[in-house]
Structure 1
Amino acid sequence: MDYETPSTSHVDNQSPVDDIVQNTDLNIPECPIELKPYVGRSFPTLDNTIELYENYGRRVGFDTRKNGSKKVDDITLWFYMVCNREDRGYVIQHFKEEHNHPMVDVQHHKFMRLNRQLEPVHQKFISDCAGANIGPSLTFKLLTELMGGYESVGCTVLDIRNYTRDIRRYAEGCDAQMIIDELKKKKENCDAFTYEYEVDSRSRLNHLFWCDPIAKMNFLQFGDIVSFDTTYSTNRWCMWHIMAKVAEKVPKSLLGNNDFKKDLNSCVWSELIEPTEFEDRWKNVMETYDLVGSEWFVSMFESRRYWVPAYFRDFPNIDAQRNYSAKLDYMDYNTTAKLKTEWSIEKHASTIFTDGAFKEIQEQIMEAYNHCSLVSISNDSSIEVYKVLDHFSNTWSVTLSVEDSVCVCGCKMFLRTALVCCHIFLVLKNKKYRLIPEYLIGGRWLKSSLLKAVHGVQNSDVATHVYVDEKKKAQAILLGEMLGLYQAVCVDIDQIHELTSIVREARQQIFADGVVTSTAQKKKIMEEFYGAEAPQEVDVQPPEVVSTKGSGSRLPSRVEKALKLKNKAMRQCKKCQEWGHHDSRNCDKFKEKEKMRSRRNSDV
């Protein structure tokens, strides 16, 4: 905005607007008084008022348009109508240049509020970083790199932190409903998408399940395993952290008992026992060490309520997992396994199993070759029973059905992991098998092409039912093009200036009136973050928050333990109220006080 400083001699009541009005030809239309609007005239409704002004314009010869209004609780407080050819713009009527304080130093301009506006580019970048779990401090560092330094970043870490807080608050109280609405939308766009949910008596979300077509195909292939992440958003809710708290929970008399530690660890850490056997062992430990009825093990092993993440973007990153799986498929067909024996079974395994699974199987084959031995062999009609001794000094029974080559080991490794154990491999080696029997191949660890052949499922069948967000796809393409251009010209300053000029011209063509940073724009960016709009009505309430992160007590350090022992050795005397290593029965200070008091009494 250009303006001139008004001279001090301009002190009359005439304003610059009056000057403009006086220098402009004015036309006052002729109109009957009954059709002319006038100040103070009232109407029963707003529509009647608008109708009058429009009839007035029709009669005298000008078009009308709405120029603004204000509503409070659906009641219009004022409504502004003008001629369609009304000039737009503003005129400075007064300007005072003097300040009663010094100006901010140039080096500190970047901290001024006017220079710390979160433009849409900042807001979108902050929301993207928040979606990738990047905190405000690191987001600020990235912005300084992208925007050309601290002088150009246009905000502070506090601004970023406050905006991130606003993003989180946007879904507060309606996050569960947003999840359900998003799942409904996916179902509408993809018939093969499935979701189910349950609420409690207070309409709080209790259970939630969803599954897309690719997940269904994976379940057909690997349906014997279902994994739940029960450690989501917790600090140490796993077996290792639970066992680390044993020292805090058990009676101190058991802390130095090696038999207790051995029995407890053999019960908890063993993966070879069945649930019923675990319960028996656990009960035996509780009875042996007089822990029946104690609440310490109940609180350590109690199950937590399933907590649905507050934000839809916090669901497991399935795309990343599937991309990693595709990379493993690539490795399977472009990596040549290094064989360690001349046994044909090892070569057979390298051709059918994934690279990771083959390495596990290869270790079992080497165990069978170098550390396992046959203790005995017995025959029972068509069943052969082998006793195998491993390097842990454990003896396992392996049964082999001669008719169908079904081999079962007592260690149950194949049942748990679908990988053949060293005990079975020793039996196969003794029987001179050249290939792994079909029963022991399974399907979980086969290379992807073999999986498709076995189950008759084609990727093309699934791809047609996968929901694709066209908007996000277009965004990714655009961002890729922009980053590619930036990387291509960043080494040549002339090309940088040329590309900058082109981008500014394109920006001017798209945003003729400039990019407006408004509440609506901010709301759109937040909706983009969640992929959904905050619902007007909430039928499904968020689940109750279970406090787990940081709720447990940590193990004290050596220094803290030493201080605790020192403080424990010192006690507070109940007579003199001082801390020391004496008790009230032998308090010399108390005795001295008593003598002084008795002397004062005798003097009196």
Structure 2
Amino acid sequence: MEVSSTNPSSIPTLICPDGNGIISDSDAICHVDGEAGSNPKPTMEDPATKPPPTSTPICHDGEGTHDDDAAIHHVEDETGSAQTQIQVKVKIVISPGSGQQYIPMCDPVLKPYVNQRFSSLDDGIEFYRRYAANSGFDIRLGTASRARDGTITNKYVYCSREGEKYCPVVPKVKDVQVDKQTKRDRPTTRLGCRARIHLTNSSNSTYYVKKFEERHNHELCSERYRHFLKTNRNMNPGHQKFLMTCAKVNMGPLKSYRLYKEMVGGYSNVGCTSVEFKNSNRDLKAYAEGCDAQMILNKLFKKRELSNAFFFEYDTDDKDQLTRLFWADPISRRNYAAFGDVVSFDATYSTNRYNLIFAPFTGVDNHRRIVTFASGLLSKEDTDSYAWLIGKFKECMGRQPLMIITDQDPGSKNVIERVLPSTRHRYCMWHISKKITERVPDCKKAESSFRKKINEIIWSDVLEPVEFEKAWGDVITEFGLNNHNWLGKIFEVRQKWIPSYFRDDPLSGLLRTTSSSESVNSFFDKFLKPRLNLVEFFMQYDLALEAQRHAQDELNSETKISIPTMKTPLPFERHAMGIYTKRIFREVQDEIAAACFTCSLLSIRDDGLSCFYKIGDASNSTFDVVYDSTEDSYTCSCKKYVIMGLLCCHIFVLLKDKKVTAILDKYILSRWTKNAIRNVSLSGENTLTEYDDPLDEHKSVLGQLYSEFYHCVGVVDDDTETLRSIMLYLKDRREAASNKDMSCTSQSTKRRLFQNHLGVEVPDLVTIYPPAPVHNKGSGRRIKSAAEIAIENSKKTLRLCRKCNQRTTHDSRNCDKFAGGAN
């Protein structure tokens, strides 16, 4: 007897007229129709008027015999006077001694049959997989037999519920040691199902279906849960491309999966689960395993072939492991030529799985934004590594910076003095001032007067060295810290970090701290993760530079099209607007406004060649300005022009008094102007051009395609028929592009996708290997102060002990309150 049903597990029991079996259905009316082995379709006939069966239905039992009394039953649902047709998906077969068996009902085109031929074994397996996916069950590859030449002659593909789980029997004997180790509870899905297909190799190297068993001894998966079947969970190229695109913006596989779900309209439309997304991300990392160093070097060599302005150098150890790497592209080198007066070098940042130290060389551009000049990777923080890296930086850029800012690493101090002899070395004030809070007990208090007074003198730009030393001594004496060991040590190296000792150094106020390096690290944190391999690291680094340069272009565009409001009628204010960038003009404009409204000319003294002026400002301070008539030059005791490269309000008072119409060219630094990059002139300038990567055209076309697609979908979002026509068109184009499903089970397809994503192939020959993991001061978790640890601990929610019902530092396993009665 056969029964057609949609969900045989959730329907009441009915007795069939033949008396040989029991069927189930919801408010069902049983009737006989069709023939065994056919795929009858449900009808909406009136049961009272349905025609009698024209032949005796036959049902195959489990042993291949026939039950002449069996009948096929179709199901109809009645709700009052209305009738709803039920889509039949399964035929239930009941035979004496065999129990219920389920036969999928699907499109005959998808159903295999005996003697069906396939051009290859993979085609036969794929055909059965599609049949299983449409019918509601999973498959599992089974036994295979081979000829002497290795050719597979016979192959079985089973229902995934074939076989039975092995359960060892534990003997019930006294004094037998039983393994008490907790084992993972893994429920079985095996039920001894006999559904399968047997593929056999024919003489002409094709395969045909020798045997096909379509009956299952278990219920088949309904439409609602069918997308959880493994046969319906495939990472196609669309999934892969989407996942890799999300990886570029630091989205993990789980967030990518949820975003994809929203795009396709629900979990059932995704086509896979989050597990497949995570596994694909794992495969991407495994793609470059063991050869990522070689892949990166090959990529850098290719960039240098495209442009001789691309500079990179590397070094290896005696095991051919990459230990040092330095690189700078043409744009970075051009930026250094324009803005490389002061450089910040921070070698305390680790962002890759090998714990290589990422050491960027950065500066400040004409918008006061951080700009990257070059970068390096080091396996060790020793003198030799620093000397190699800074030496390559000097070789690449062709000139030394005026000043370089680092932390208090003694290794970098010795190297800079040797490799960059004409460069002024400065310690990071941010690190030192932060340590003052930790080292001096009274400074930890928010209302600390010591902190307020010490910050006023160490951050001052106007104090001369003698004035600073006197002010420092007064504060130390006032708070009784003359014998404080650490304060004494930092005072001994005051020439390395206090602004008073840099007042005569050009542009010393540009980067007083590596807090700009801290902001660089914060910026790169948005793109880089600690466990990236080298290929992923370089891809994310390029994306970070792209974002940085996009922001710079945006500011350049805003500067060119915006017209600020004038604060004064002075002509040199409008002249400043035309030459400086928007951000720098605001600073200059404030100085000009201060010269007009808050500064005053206190006295003038003329000796014939020079004029000496005393200018008072809003801070009630007095500054001396000297005008040299022979050279038409101005100098001010505040030294703002020396420190920042911008004129101060005190000099603007004289320009206003002398009715100057434009700022003198000698006082306009090119680095602050709108055309700072254009004004760069280098020997061999024609070599400092961007390289033209052939892949850029492919990327551009692909981007235009995505843009047009989303634009089109947005325009016709409320037109279902138009959306359906677009969907069918794209489906036809996809099917035309390949004769079979382009799923990522194919290793060649995976390799192609991974290669396009990473932009580099896996090399056939590996001569440079990735380094072994190392531990440096800049890797892992940073060392935290006691104050910071205490603050973090105070914010933590204590755990709840389930025995004493208190929130404390213990739990029920080690609760002292009930320790006595534990046994």
8 Å CA contact 1:250, 1:296 repeated in 2: no
- Structure 1 residue 561, shift from structure 2 partner: 9.1
8 Å CA contact 1:6, 1:94 repeated in 2: no
Aligned residue for 1:476? 700
> Which of the residues 299, 303, 312 maps onto 1:195?
312
Between the aligned partners of 1:544 and 1:19, the Cα distance in structure 2 is: 61
Aligned residue for 1:331? 558
Report the residue type matching 1:544 in the other structure: V
Aligned residue for 1:575? none
Q: Deviations over 1:189-218 (max 9, x none)?
A: 212222233456776655543233333333
Aligned residue for 2:711? 487
Greater CA deviation, 202-211 or 494-503?
202-211
> Which of the residues 754, 774, 790 maps onto 1:544?
774
Number of corresponding residues: 500
Aligned residue for 1:389? 616
Between the aligned partners of 2:466 and 2:215, the Cα distance in structure 1 is: 86
Aligned residue for 2:670? 443
- Structure 1 residue 318, shift from structure 2 partner: 2.6
- Structure 1 residue 284, shift from structure 2 partner: 10
Aligned residue for 2:251? 134
2:291 is equivalent to residue 98 of structure 1: no
Report the residue type matching 1:346 in the other structure: E
Aligned residue for 2:264? 147
Q: CA RMSD in A?
A: 5.0
Report the residue type matching 1:369 in the other structure: C
**C-alpha spacing 1:109/1:391, structure 2 compared with 1 (3 Å):** farther
Aligned residue for 1:314? 540
Between the aligned partners of 2:638 and 2:64, the Cα distance in structure 1 is: 102
> Which of the residues 441, 444, 466 maps onto 1:252?
441
Structure 1 unmatched ranges of 5 or more: 12-16, 22-69, 71-75, 565-577, 580-604
Between the aligned partners of 2:590 and 2:572, the Cα distance in structure 1 is: 13
Q: Deviations over 1:506-533 (max 9, x none)?
A: 2222212321422333333333332223
**C-alpha spacing 1:105/1:260, structure 2 compared with 1 (3 Å):** farther
8 Å CA contact 2:439, 2:486 repeated in 1: no
Between the aligned partners of 2:554 and 2:242, the Cα distance in structure 1 is: 29
SS in 2 for 1:164: helix
Superposed, 1:104-503 pairs within 5 Å as 104=221, 106-171=223-288, 174-199=291-316, 205=322, 207-228=324-345, 247=437, 249-252=438-441, 255=444, 258=448, 260-266=450-456, 269-270=459-460, 288-292=481-485, 310=534, 311-315=537-541, 317-379=544-606, 382-448=609-675, 452=678, 454-455=679-680, 461=686, 465-489=689-713, 490-491=716-717, 492-503=719-730
**C-alpha spacing 1:93/1:532, structure 2 compared with 1 (3 Å):** same
**C-alpha spacing 1:149/1:344, structure 2 compared with 1 (3 Å):** same
Superposed, 1:547-586 pairs within 5 Å as 547-549=779-781, 551-552=783-784, 554=788, 556-557=790-791, 560=794
Q: Deviations over 1:357-408 (max 9, x none)?
A: 2122111211222223334444466344434333334444433332333333
**C-alpha spacing 1:395/1:89, structure 2 compared with 1 (3 Å):** farther
**C-alpha spacing 1:6/1:275, structure 2 compared with 1 (3 Å):** farther
2:738 is equivalent to residue 514 of structure 1: no
Report the residue type matching 1:474 in the other structure: H
Superposed, 1:77-92 pairs within 5 Å as 78-80=149-151, 86=204, 88-91=206-209
8 Å CA contact 2:307, 2:687 repeated in 1: no
Q: Which has the higher contact order (CA 8 A, sep 6+)?
A: 1
SS in 2 for 1:407: strand
Between the aligned partners of 1:275 and 1:501, the Cα distance in structure 2 is: 78
Q: Which has the higher strand share?
A: 2
- Structure 1 residue 132, shift from structure 2 partner: 1.6
Between the aligned partners of 1:521 and 1:280, the Cα distance in structure 2 is: 73
8 Å CA contact 1:3, 1:92 repeated in 2: no
Between the aligned partners of 1:284 and 1:511, the Cα distance in structure 2 is: 83
SS in 2 for 1:504: helix
Greater CA deviation, 278-287 or 414-423?
278-287
**C-alpha spacing 1:428/1:555, structure 2 compared with 1 (3 Å):** farther
Between the aligned partners of 1:531 and 1:364, the Cα distance in structure 2 is: 50
**C-alpha spacing 1:372/1:252, structure 2 compared with 1 (3 Å):** same
**C-alpha spacing 1:156/1:400, structure 2 compared with 1 (3 Å):** farther
- Structure 1 residue 342, shift from structure 2 partner: 0.6
SS in 1 for 2:267: coil
Q: Deviations over 1:459-518 (max 9, x none)?
A: 99578x422222242133133124314422533333322322222222222212321422
Between the aligned partners of 2:323 and 2:739, the Cα distance in structure 1 is: 49
8 Å CA contact 2:234, 2:743 repeated in 1: no
Q: Which has the higher helix share?
A: 1
8 Å CA contact 1:312, 1:530 repeated in 2: no
Report the residue type matching 2:784 in the other structure: G
Report the residue type matching 1:477 in the other structure: V
8 Å CA contact 1:233, 1:549 repeated in 2: no
**C-alpha spacing 1:557/1:434, structure 2 compared with 1 (3 Å):** same
Aligned residue for 2:416? none
Q: Deviations over 1:432-466 (max 9, x none)?
A: 32210111111012222x863x5568999578x42
**C-alpha spacing 1:251/1:445, structure 2 compared with 1 (3 Å):** closer
Between the aligned partners of 1:214 and 1:202, the Cα distance in structure 2 is: 34
**C-alpha spacing 1:324/1:368, structure 2 compared with 1 (3 Å):** same
Report the residue type matching 1:525 in the other structure: L
**C-alpha spacing 1:18/1:99, structure 2 compared with 1 (3 Å):** closer
Greater CA deviation, 82-91 or 431-440?
82-91
SS in 1 for 2:635: strand
Report the residue type matching 1:481 in the other structure: L
2:646 is equivalent to residue 528 of structure 1: no
SS in 2 for 1:91: strand
8 Å CA contact 2:600, 2:617 repeated in 1: yes
- Structure 1 residue 344, shift from structure 2 partner: 0.7
Q: Deviations over 1:548-580 (max 9, x none)?
A: 55653645459939999xxxxxxxxxxxxx99x
Greater CA deviation, 270-279 or 518-527?
270-279
Identity within the alignment, %: 30
Between the aligned partners of 2:601 and 2:560, the Cα distance in structure 1 is: 36
Report the residue type matching 2:227 in the other structure: K
Greater CA deviation, 498-507 or 255-264?
255-264
8 Å CA contact 1:127, 1:525 repeated in 2: no
SS in 1 for 2:638: coil
SS in 2 for 1:374: strand
